[in-house]
Chain A
């Protein structure tokens, strides 16, 4: 046996906290969800470690999606900020956060997006930031638009910002979407509603934060993100 203790594993998700892979209302899951049960993988060092991607991947304006071109993008300027925490409320420090989104008209700068809404020459829609020592991140962007997507008759995606996070371990990797409060499109969106637990679903919705707005400049939304927490280590149990 080795002379070191393996690190504590990360806790499993609560039931209904994660969307089921097979969600018939979301048509694309039909041929892309496994039919065999997932196999339980005990967390070894490959799962308990992960890429430590440094700030060398983030340029000085990568967090500001409104300043990546010569001119300013159309739309409602917003700040999106929050903390990345683990399931025990501890900050997830120095971790890479990547975002991508439509422009204000609901169009992605992507060849596959056929929605007949205008592109914006001053908006790409991709950003990157590192969390600080308190787990905080901040982006400046414009509010994305809703767009139709043919999943069902007259299907529209509620406005959202895609988020990608690494956390500190392969086990903590999370790709998700941030939504805006009180969106009237929530009820008909099978991706949002794929999360069966209503309380868990609400954790995908940012909070409007008047106190964080910049007067005469921008509105603000707070979106805290919670990654999986760890079981207590044996040493902490003994303490």
Chain B
């Protein structure tokens, strides 16, 4: 018996963005890069009122969290969480770092990935997706990617850019991003 979700609506900018929101890591964290993307709706139009949040492991695949059975590990300059509202062109930008591999439910390692929540007007519940890295050999053995249809799997793999990686999110339509439920 949980409390139902409701849309974040168009006016969340009043309460949710933080000045340091887009920084999952400190600006000068070793290996830091920009994760950038555009959010598109079912008509291919940019979504200017979405909020993107991420959560991920540190470069060693560890979490600063009491439920990590390997023990919490705090890394200076690393938060692992970021939130960024999209701009008028539907774009977001998050400063982060490549996570290490993380154990899945059976203890086997999953390929490096970033969990993403998409919140927006018109979304009665958040959408959840994952960013995987291009040219990552471990993707071939990742148990989550393996459950996704081979054609649609490509929507979960980021593209390399000049200053990091790009991960576009298509909420609906021909190139609809794979969204998860758990």
Contacts and interface: CB of A to CB of B under 8 A. Distances in A.
Interface of A: 1-2, 4-7, 9-10, 12-14, 17-21, 23, 26, 28-36, 38-53, 57, 87, 98-100, 108-110, 112-113, 124-127, 162, 164, 168-171, 173-177, 191-192, 194-195, 200-201, 203-204, 225-229
Interface residues of B, number: 74
A17 to B, nearest CB: 6
A44 B104 contact: yes
Contacts of B121: 28, 32
A29 B122 contact: yes
Contacts of B143: 42
Given A31-B122, A43-B182, A113-B11, 13 more contacts: A13-B2, A21-B124, A21-B127, A33-B123, A43-B105, A50-B65, A57-B18, A125-B14, A125-B15, A170-B55, A203-B4, A204-B6, A226-B1
Chain A contact residues: helix, strand, loop or mixed: loop
B68 A17 contact: no
A202 to B, nearest CB: 10
Contact of A32 (B6, B42, B63): B42
18 contacts: A21-B125, A28-B122, A35-B173, A39-B180, A40-B180, A41-B128, A41-B181, A46-B110, A47-B115, A87-B2, A100-B11, A110-B11, A125-B15, A162-B15, A170-B115, A176-B5, A194-B6, A200-B4
Interface string B29-42: 00000000000011
Nearest to A111: B13
Given A6-B106, A28-B122, A34-B171, A168 B14 contact: no
B10 to A, nearest CB: 6
B1 to A, nearest CB: 6
B122 A33 contact: yes
Contact of A225 (B3, B43, B49, B126): B3
